[in-house]
Amino acid sequence: MRLREVLTVARSSSPEEDDPSRIAHDEIYEGSKNPLRLTQKINAPFSCAMDLQNFPFDTQHCKLLIRITSAREEFLRWSDLTVQYLGEVRVLMEETANRIRVGDMTIQRREEDEYSVAVVGMIFYRRYWYYLTSAYLPTIMLMLISYASLFCKRDNRDLRVMMAITTLLVLYALYQQISDGLPRTSYTKAVDVWCFFAITFIFSQVISTWPCAIDVEMSWPRRVRASPRVKEIDLANKPRRRFPALVVARIVYALLLVFFCLIYWAVVLVDKNRGEMEHEF
């Protein structure tokens, strides 16, 4: 921390009348009308503990406490407090600095341990459009491509498997690239939940591709025993009832994707609005 002080006089009145009996003619100002002004410029690093569970749709609330320790609150206190942010944002990593916007800033005065304290509150908003275009949109496209493999013909098992495996490998490589640019945390973030679901969604299709390629059939017996009075009926040509597993898989995966997206975005938007409404420091 570096401190630079400048002591000046706020001249707000004219000098006193000169005494002609004195040899030296100096300009004398009354102290009560011309107060002293002490300006201090402090260059100190500032860190903030951030909660990144809703990343990249999070809103961070940080505060900075500035306490006057040279005198107690009854002798020296803060007055005419204003705050303005002029610097750059440098958080976590250099590549994430330009993806954060400084929002509203507040300053309040309070007393702690008989000293005057200025509480500076800062709100940081994350520019999430970068992550929407680089993480969420590609994963949605890959999940749709994997889901489209379920509409291949039942006999094209190899094509269906190759489509699902290829999208899974591409998604895994994309997730590795996304993870390299994210802040390291010990807990799961919102973007991690999304990528984990996308990988699980495509992987489950790869596992279920082979069983779904075989339709479950229920056929009637060819001949039925009947009493002597009842005429025997040949059921060899009776149409069979089929329960196509691929059709069931299409419905299940479509409902699963829609259901997850509704819950995920509802939780994310609720947490985002809640974070933007918290202004108390």
Q: What is the pLDDT of residue 64?
A: 86
Q: What is the 3-state secondary structure (H, E, C) of the chain?
A: CEEEEEEEECCCCCCCCCCCCCCCCCCCCCCCCCCEEEEEEEECCCCCCCCCCCCCCCEEEEEEEEECCCCCCCCCCCCCCCCCCCCCCCCCCHHHHHHEEEEEEEEEEEEECCEEEEEEEEEEEECCHHHHHHHHHHHHHHHHHHHHHHHCCCCCHHHHHHHHHHHHHHHHHHHHHHHHCCCCCCCCCHHHHHHHHHHHHHHHHHHHHHHHCCCEEECCCCECCCCCCCCCCECCCCCCEEECHHHHHHHHHHHHHHHHHHHHHHHHHHHHHHHHHCCCC
Q: What domains are there in the chain, each with its CATH number?
A: 1-44 (no CATH), 50-127 (no CATH), 130-277 (1.20.58.390)
What was the pLDDT predicted at 192? 93
Q: What pLDDT is attached to residue 202?
A: 92
Give the pLDDT confidence score for residue 30 in this predicted structure: 80
Looking at residue 83, its pLDDT comes to 79
**pTM, 2 dp:** 0.71
> What is the per-residue pLDDT for 213?
52
- Would you state the pLDDT for residue 132? 93
Look at residue 225 in the predicted model and tell me its pLDDT: 57
- 82-132 confidence digits (pLDDT tens): 877 776 655 544 445 567 788 888 888 888 888 888 888 888 888 889 899
pLDDT for 230 equals 52
Q: pLDDT under 50 in the chain at which residues?
A: 92-95, 215-220, 235, 238, 241-243
